[in-house]
A and B are shown apart, each in its own frame.
Chain A
C-alpha cells in the first residue's frame, strides 16, 4: 500500500480519480493485491468477489470517461459489515442461521455508498449478530488484529476495523450497539464513530438491539470518517426512528480548533481502565487544554450502572429481534418431527453459544413476574444515565475518556469468560444508552506497540462539535508522538 492509491485518504483518492490521475480499475487492482497479501493472515472478510469489484470499477471508469465524475466517494473502496443487507452479496450477520442467504433488497447505507460511487470491497466479519467484543463469536472465522496477529481486533465490527487498519479498504462501515465500532477502532488504531441514534438509517441493518444500534464509519483519519458520515447521514423515511431534517456539515470543522470548548474528563471512565490507557487520556486532556480548551474533571456516577442496564436491555430486544430466525421463510431450516421440533432444531443448530446466552437472558428479563425486577429497572437506569448526561452537558460541550479499558487482548484470552468480555464495553455503553454520538481517535500505542484509542463524547446531534474536537485530538496525537519520539 505504500505510495499506491491505497496510501491516499478517501478525500484525496476520490479527487485523484475525478482528475483522472488514477483509474478506478487501478484502485480496485490495488485493493485486490492488498487483500491477496493481507487477508490470509487477518481474515477480515466473510465475502469477497474480486471479479464483481473489477467489473464495477470498469463501469465507473467508463462513466468517468464520459464525464460523469460526480460522487463524493468516486472510486473509494468501502467495506461493509456483514450485518448490512446487500442484494448483490450474501448477508449472514456472522451466523450459520443465515448461511447463503441472498437478500432481495439493499440497506439504505449500501445504497448511499453506491450512489456516491464508492466501490464495495466486500462484507466484513463480525461477532454473530454483532454480539461480542472480539469478533471471536463469528460462526465462520476468527479475525486477527493487524498490529499483532495473536490478538483480537475487538468487536463486534472487528472485520471492518481490521480491513481499514490493514489497508484492505480505505473506508468501512460498522454498527455500534454498545461499542462495536469504537472499541475495535481503538484496538486496531483507526478512527471509529458512533453517531447520534437516528442519525444514520437502520433500514437494512440486521437488528441486534433496535433502541441502541447505530451504523457509523471506520477510517484512518478523522477527515475520512467525516466524509463517510456526511454520505450516510441522511433522513430515511424507511426508518421511523430516523431523525428528520438536515445533518450538519462535518468536513468544514477541520481547522476550527478547540479554543474555549468546555471538555470534561469523566472520572468514572478513566478510573476503570489500565494505567497506560489512563495515562494517555490524561495526556490528551493536557494537550487539549494547551490548545485552548477548558478542561475539567467531572463525575458521572450513573455511567457505572450502564453495563448492567445494557446487559438487560440489549439481550431483551435481541431475544425478540432474533425470533424471526425460525426456519420458516429464509436461512437455515432443520426439519423436525413437529413444528416446535423444527423451530428448536433450527435455532439450536443455527445459533452460536453467545447468541443463545443472550436470547435466554433477554427472554428471562422480559418474562412475566420478572419484567419489573429486570427490564423495568434497566429502563429506569437508562433514564437515570440520560438525565445525568443532560446535567453534565449544561457545564460541558464534550466529554473525554478512554474508548476501551485495555489494548487488544489475545485471541482466546477472554473467550470463555463472558463477564470479563462484557467489561470491554464499559466506556462505550453509556453513549448508546443515552443515544449520544461518540468518536474514538487513535492516540499512540502502548509499550507492546498496541494502539490506544481516546474517546470524545457529546450530547445528541452534536456531531459537528464532536468532529471539531476530534480533528484537534488527531492533530494533538501526532504532536504527542513527535514529542515522545516515536
Chain B
C-alpha cells in the first residue's frame, strides 16, 4: 500500500508507548434481495419469528440449495466497486454445531472466492487492500432467555430462523489499517459504497452490517505481523473505535510486561468498555472445509460482469469527484462529505444539473437538507431546485429559503402554494430599510459601538431585523443597509 502517509493519515495515526497498530477488518453485509440465498423465502427484517422459513432454509433432511442469481449479481457489483478481480469461484461447507445453524454447516466460499485482490481508497487518501469479498449464508438468530443473556446462565433459548439463509457478503480487508480512526473511516466509506450500490441498507444497529476487527501491534517502524486477536460484537462505529483502541493498548501492555497476547477471539463488552476472551485458538472449531457437493462452480460470464460494471454509479468516490469538479476549486470538503450521503446526493446533483450555483446547492444540501432529510417525505428534487432558484434570483431571502425547505418536507404542496400559505414574500428593500432603521433606533448603545467599529455587532442587528420581519428580509440586503447607515454616520 501507499508508503508515504498523507497529513490526514498522520493526524489519524495511533501510537502507544513505542508501538503502532495493525488492523484488518472483516465486514459482513446482508444483501438486499427479495429472497434468501438458497430458497425462495422472503428476505425481510422484523417479521414474526419463524415465518420466513421453508424446508430448505430449515435444513430439513433431503433438501438442497439452489443459488439465487440476484445474490451473485450483487456480489459481483461489490467486487467491481472494490476494484476486485471477479473470477470463477466455488462453494465450500464450513462445518460446526450450533442451534442457529440449521444444516450443521454454513455454505460459504473458501479458497476460490468470487471477488479477490481489490482495494478501497479512503477520503484521506489512504488505500486499504481488499483480500476477498465472498458470498455466504447467514445463520438464524438465537436469544438466550434469562437475566444474563448468555447461554450458560439462561433457562432456555429461542431461535428465529427467519435470518437463516439470508445472503451475506464478507469483505475482508488486508491488515492495512493503522488506527481506530482509520478503521472508522474505512467502515464508513465501505458502508457508503454498499449503500450507493443498493446492495445493503448498511445498518449496523440492525445487524445488516457487522464488523469484526483483527487487531495486533508492533514496534513503530517494524513491518512484522504479530499475534492478532479477533474482536466480535462491534455494533457501532463508536464501539469499533473504542474496542480497537482498547485492544491495541492491551497488547502493548502485555508486551511491555514481557508477555504476549495469544491468538483468540474476543468479545467487546459495551457496558464494561473492554474486550474479554471468547475462545482461544485451541478451542476454535476445526471447520473441516470441503467443496459443497450440492452446488456447481460459479462462473460468471464476461458479458454479465461487463453489464454489472456499467450499472455501478454513484459510489462515494464518484459522487465526491462530481461535486469537486462542479465546485471548480471552491474548498467545501466537509460539506461535500455530507452531501454525498445516498439520500442527499440526488438533490444536490439535480440542482447542479439544473444550473443552480454548485456552491449554493452544496451548502443548502449539507447545511439545511442534511438535518431535515430524515423527515423529508414530500420534498421532491424539483421543488428543491425551485427553492434554490428563487433564492438565487433573490426573490426570497436565504432564511426564507430555509423555512420554505422545512415546510416542503412536511407537506405535499407546491412551492408557490407554500410561499403563499406561509406568507413568505420577500420584503421589499424600502420596507427592509424601515425595519433596519427601527432596530437601530431601538438599540442606541449597540449602534454606537458598531459605528465605532465593533464588527461582531453586525450579526446582532441582522438577527434583530430578521426577527422583526419574520425572516422575510434578505440578510445581505440588511447588511448593505447597515453598512450604508454607518457610512453616512461617519
Contact = CB atoms under 8 A, between A and B. Distances in A.
B108 to A, nearest CB: 13
B302 interface: no
B296 interface: yes
A368 B289 CA distance: 9
Interface stretch (B3-11, B92-100, B476-484): B92-100
Most chain A beta-carbon contacts within 10 A, residue among B63, B102, B289, B294: B63
Interface string A70-104: 00000000000001110000010100001001011
A93 B288 contact: no
A239 B466 CA distance: 71
Interface string B271-309: 000000000000000101110011110000000000000
A241 B294 contact: yes
A202 B63 CA distance: 8
A366 B288 contact: yes
B55 interface: yes
Contacts of A84: 62
A-side interface size class: 35 or more
B58 A98 contact: no
Contacts of A473: none
A271 B65 CA distance: 41
B62 A339 contact: no
A323 B288 CA distance: 12
Contacts of B294: 207, 210, 240-241
B103 A240 contact: no
B59 interface: yes
The residue among B64, B104, B294 with the most chain A CB atoms within 10 A of its own CB is: B64
Nearest to A316: B290
- Interface secondary structure of B, over-half rule: loop
A326 B151 CA distance: 17
B288 A363 contact: yes
A202 B293 CA distance: 12
Contacts, number: 104
A460 to B, nearest CB: 15
Contacts of B65: 240
B14 interface: no
A84 B104 CA distance: 21
A317 B66 CA distance: 18
B63 A203 contact: yes
Nearest to A366: B288
A326 B99 CA distance: 8
Interface in A363-383: 363, 366-368, 371, 375
B442 interface: no
A120 to B, nearest CB: 16
A110 to B, nearest CB: 10
B313 interface: no
Interface of chain A: mostly helix, strand, loop or mixed: loop
B152 interface: yes
Contacts of A316: 290
A192 B151 CA distance: 51
B95 A323 contact: yes
A320 B61 CA distance: 12
A320 B64 contact: no
B97 A323 contact: yes
A324 B55 contact: no
B122 interface: no
Interface of A: 83-85, 91, 93, 98, 101, 103-105, 107, 202-207, 209-211, 237-241, 316-317, 319-320, 322-326, 328-330, 338-339, 343, 363, 366-368, 371, 375
Interface of B: 55, 58-67, 93, 95, 97, 99, 102-105, 151-152, 159, 286, 288-290, 293-296
23 contacts: A91-B62, A93-B61, A101-B61, A104-B60, A107-B62, A202-B64, A203-B63, A206-B61, A210-B293, A239-B64, A240-B64, A240-B67, A240-B296, A320-B93, A322-B104, A323-B97, A324-B102, A326-B97, A328-B99, A330-B61, A338-B152, A368-B286, A371-B290
